[in-house]
Amino acid sequence: MKTLKFGLLMISLLVIALLASACGNGAGNTQSGAAKTIKIGFFAPETGPEAADGTSAYNSAKLAVEQINAGGGINGAKLELVNYDDQLDTKQAVSIAQKLTTRDGVAAVVSGSYSGPTRAAAPIFQQAKIPMISAYAVHPAIPRTGNYIFQQSFSGVVEGAAAAEVAKNELHAKNVAILAIDNDFGHTLVQGFKQRAAQTGLKVQEPNWFHFGDTEFTPVLTKIKDNGADVLFMPAYAAEGSQIIRRIHDMGLKIQPLGTEGLDSTTQFLEVAGKNANGLVIVTNLNRDSKEQVVKDFIKAYKEKYGHEPDMVGASTYDAFYVLAEAMRKSGVTPDKIRDGIANTKNFQAVTGKIEGYDKIGQVIKPVQVQQVKDGAFRYFGEITDPAIITPPVN
């Protein structure tokens, strides 16, 4: 019996540890502020399979709120972050959206999550008439939920079209193979890529799909090798993307990889892929070589506070808060006025490029950045500003 008691004690201790950890990251992490505060709701996958992106997003949200408050807040009123962890789970996102709209009394919301949870939560904010900015989710259905929902990152269709443009004009592709993740992100990017390629007469092979969490790409790369292609368009996240790049190098495959914002992370992608990533070209929204002061300041402040390089997910989240702050300063702090303020944003210099504005659906219009990996770092390679490509489709 003695061992049994010891065993039960162990289990209870572990359960307590688990509960404590869950609470620490869970609901209601409000930061108490001064008497006059404006609550901003926020959710991101802070634990679970994409905890790295969720943590980047949450860290950047905290940084933005801190800086906005340090700079005097919104006409004297402080921002208060109401943070939730959606664990990359659409069901969680729905219940978080319900809490934010019914209990927490937030004036606006930033989604720091992926397309799945963001799509699930958006209708609830729309119905409650609370504006939401999706920081980096790319699915075109998100802004189409209604007039209170905005997309801060360009639509996947735009990003895919920009990639097709890079393939054709910069990489001089003759025959493009595609290896894409089989989810909202991958399908939207492939759709945009194929549409633009068809317009410009670029030859594209049938896409090869892989699944979230896949690790072995040698079989599918063997197939791609046999089909002969000079450019590989690969909408993938950092975990899978870094393995694809490593295997391309292992196999000695002669193909130019072309990635997307999914790979735009120093800690999650570049360090894992190592020197194999050199030469890779990606389309993204963050230009690390930008001369703009906001970009330099953000990169510096993030590195100082968190001790590692920021990524595109963090930069996009940070921007969403600054767009909100700008809207509140110009238009007012009630949900309706914030909505109008976001809709009227014009030529706003953000970290992830100059936001020309939002179209009538709520999709952002801004240039697409093209970066190339050189000596283990993302460097400027080009920028796509052609309105025919960066204007998101409205139908």
Strands (E) in the chain, as ranges, are 37-44, 78-85, 108-111, 132-134, 149-151, 175-181, 203-204, 208-210, 231-233, 256-259, 281-284, 348-350, 353-355, 357-358, 364-365, 368-374, 377-384
Q: Which one among 28, 72, 213, 376 touches other proteins, defined by CB under 8 A?
A: 213
We find the least distance from the C-beta atom of residue 375 to other proteins, in angstroms, to be: 16
The 231-250 contact track toward other proteins, x by CB under 8 A, reads -------xx--xx--xx--x
- Residue 48 binds other proteins (CB under 8 A): yes
Q: Which one among 172, 223, 296, 305 touches other proteins, defined by CB under 8 A?
A: 223
- Helices assigned H by DSSP within 87-142: 90-102, 115-128
User: Per CB under 8 A, which region of 145-153, 197-205, 265-273, 374-382 contacts other proteins?
Assistant: 265-273
We find the least distance from the C-beta atom of residue 74 to other proteins, in angstroms, to be: 31
Q: Which one among 28, 105, 228, 274 touches other proteins, defined by CB under 8 A?
A: 274
How many residues interact with other proteins (rule CB under 8 A)? 52
Decide whether 39 or 247 has the Cβ nearer to other proteins. Answer: 247
Structure tokens at 160: 């895919």
Q: In whole angstroms, what is the distance from residue 345 CA to residue 18 CA? A: 44
The per-residue DSSP string of 354-383 comes to EE-EE-TTSBEE-PEEEEEEETTEEEEEEE
CA distances (Å), 65 to each of 69, 80, 81, in order? Answer: 6, 7, 7
Q: In whole angstroms, what is the distance from residue 148 CA to residue 157 CA? A: 21
- Residue 272 binds other proteins (CB under 8 A): yes
Among all chains, which residue has been given the structure tokens 């219940």? 95
We find the least distance from the C-beta atom of residue 311 to other proteins, in angstroms, to be: 10
Which residue ranges make up the site for other proteins (CB under 8 A)? 3-4, 6-8, 10-11, 14-15, 17-18, 21-22, 46-49, 51-52, 54-55, 182, 208-211, 213-216, 218-220, 222-223, 226, 238-239, 242-243, 246-247, 250-252, 267-268, 271-274, 308
